[in-house]
Each structure stands twice: as structure tokens, then as C-alpha cells.
Amino acid sequence: MLLKVLGTAAGGGVPQWNCACPECSGARAHPRRRRLHASLAVRATEGRWYVVNATPDIAEQIEGCVELHPGPEQRRTPVAGVVLTDAELDHTLGVARLREAGRLELLGTDPVRHAVLDRQHLGTLLAPYTELTWRELPAGGRAEPLGTQSAVHVSAIPVSGKRPRYATEDGAAPDDDDHWVTALRLTDRSTGRTAVYAPALGVWSDAFEEAVAEADCVILDGTFWDDDEPRRSGFSARTATAMGHLPIDGPQGTARRVASLSARCLYTHLNNTNPLVDPAAPQHKTLARLGIEVAADGMEILL
């Protein structure tokens, strides 16, 4: 199984267009510190790939990954479809950018399908341009193959009931359907190797614990370093956990859980306020001592 890390930033990317915080200013001064929105490419079969989450950066991400370049025919693309972990705008806006495709397959849970097709109206919007086909990814259910004759299968693990703001009815509280946000379990049935991808992790459930305990590689939510980071940074009155992201450090932090795993573990989906955006930040050494990495844009993972 071959994975290509297309991006590692949370919403807005690094730098964020309207932000002059130290991390964003540092990324402007040093382009190598720039991070595109979090996304992953998974090789289904030779020459056929699925992208996990279609971000606003998807065109740039495709250009930056030679395996996703079109050819040898003029309009032939190796991008077969998109797997969605949730319906957030940062993970779905790129679907419209792919409108030049002759046909595009989307995989996701039923709440995500409802949000993308009925609330964003992407099916109607893109109908004059391309054919969107939907394949349901049952959360907690059977594994689905990534395309015909693919040895790589994907299953979804519910990790949060957090709806996107646009999908919350006016004046109504969000429902408690925990299928709104899922982690993906990717299994190569030809080798038995598995990877877990969880760019947004609101709950460390028993099902998630079981999946990561059996995995060979875990790429998970590193949005915030600690729980108070959003409030301390001044852009939100909520904590990280209230925003649907378990922090890395602290009593509710995931680092202590991750350190006990036998899998290769990497953090992704870094917010522009996260000190890990700075490669010189001491938090990198803290994670390194625990045997944990921070994913980088363009990284290749072969399992």
C-alpha cells in the first residue's frame, strides 16, 4: 500500500490568507514552512488513485504529486475518486474544482452525502460539467474496495458527531449522529498491512482504539497542541475538544495514547496556531522522545 501525503494543515492552511500570527508570518518568510490543507492520496491499483478529502488546494496538490499527473492520453487522469472523512468545507470544496472530470466517484457516510448533495447542492451544481456518483461508506460496517480489482479496502470508524456549521438547521441543536466525522481504516488485503487516517478526531472510542492497536501506521489529528490553544490564540471562545479536535498534549491529549502504540504514528491537520508549524519549536523534540512524528507535505509512506 502506497500513501502520498498531499497536505498537513487544518482549515485555512499555513499561512492563512487573513492571518499575521507568528506561524503564518514565518511561513510567508520561509516558503518551506508552508502547509497545504490536509489530504492523502491512496494508490488503489497501478495508475489509479483515490484522494482522501478534496480540499481547496486540490489542483496544487495534484500538480505537486507526479503520480497524480494526467497522461499518457491527453485527458486521462489517475484520480479515480474522493473519499470523504466528513463534510467540512475544507474537505469538500475541492470537489467543484474537479468538475473537468468525465466522471467522479465520491465515497462517504450517509450524513456526509446528505450535506454534500442536499445542503451544498454539489450534485445539481456540477451536473452540467461532470457526473458525480456516490458510494456509501457504512460507518462501522463492511470494508469497501477502492475501485475494481483493488487490494486496498477502506472502512469508516465514527469519531465525532460534529456537523459542519452550514449543515446545522437554524436554531436547532446538532443531532448526535456520530457518523458525521469518521476515521478511515485502509487495509491492503494482499499484504495484511493497515493504516488509519483520522484528520479530525473528536472522540477516542473503543472502535478507534481497536483499529489503531492493530495498525501499522496511524496518521491522526494534530490540529491543536493543547486544549486551550483556540481561546489563548483569540480566534475562538471554545476549547479544542469543544471544536471537535482532541489536543495533542495535556490530560485529554492523544500523545500519551499514541506513544503506547506499536505503529508508526504521525500528526497531521495542524492549525496555523499550533507551535508545531515552526520546525524549530521545542514541541517537536517532545514528540520525538515519544517516537511520534509530524507529517510533512509530500511525504511518501509505503506499507
Domains for the chain: give ranges and CATH numbers. Answer: 2-302 (3.60.15.10)
CA distances from 148 to 70, 124, 128 (A): 20, 27, 27
Per-residue pLDDT tens digits for 192-215: 999 999 999 999 999 999 999 999
114 vs 230: CA distance, rounded Å: 29
pLDDT at position 134 over 70:
yes
Kindly indicate the confidence band of residue 235, based on its pLDDT and cuts at 50, 70 and 90.
confident
Kindly indicate the confidence band of residue 256, based on its pLDDT and cuts at 50, 70 and 90.
very high
18 vs 13: CA distance, rounded Å: 11
CA distances from 302 to 5, 54, 83, 144, 188 (A): 11, 22, 19, 21, 11
Cα dihedral 153, 158, 163, 167 sign: positive
Per-residue pLDDT tens digits for 3-53: 999 999 999 999 999 999 999 999 999 999 999 999 999 999 999 999 999
- What confidence score (pLDDT) does residue 176 get? 55
150 contacts: CB under 8 Å, gap ≥ 6: 44, 45, 48
Report whether 21 contacts 14 (CB < 8 A).
Answer: no
The model scores a pTM over 0.85:
yes
- Which residue type occupies 92? T
CA distances from 9 to 5, 131, 147, 226, 243 (A): 11, 29, 27, 16, 16
Per-residue pLDDT tens digits for 84-123: 999 999 999 999 999 999 999 999 999 999 999 999 999 9
108 vs 245: CA distance, rounded Å: 20
Percent of the chain predicted with pLDDT > 70 = 97
Residues in the chain: 303
DSSP tag of 246 = -
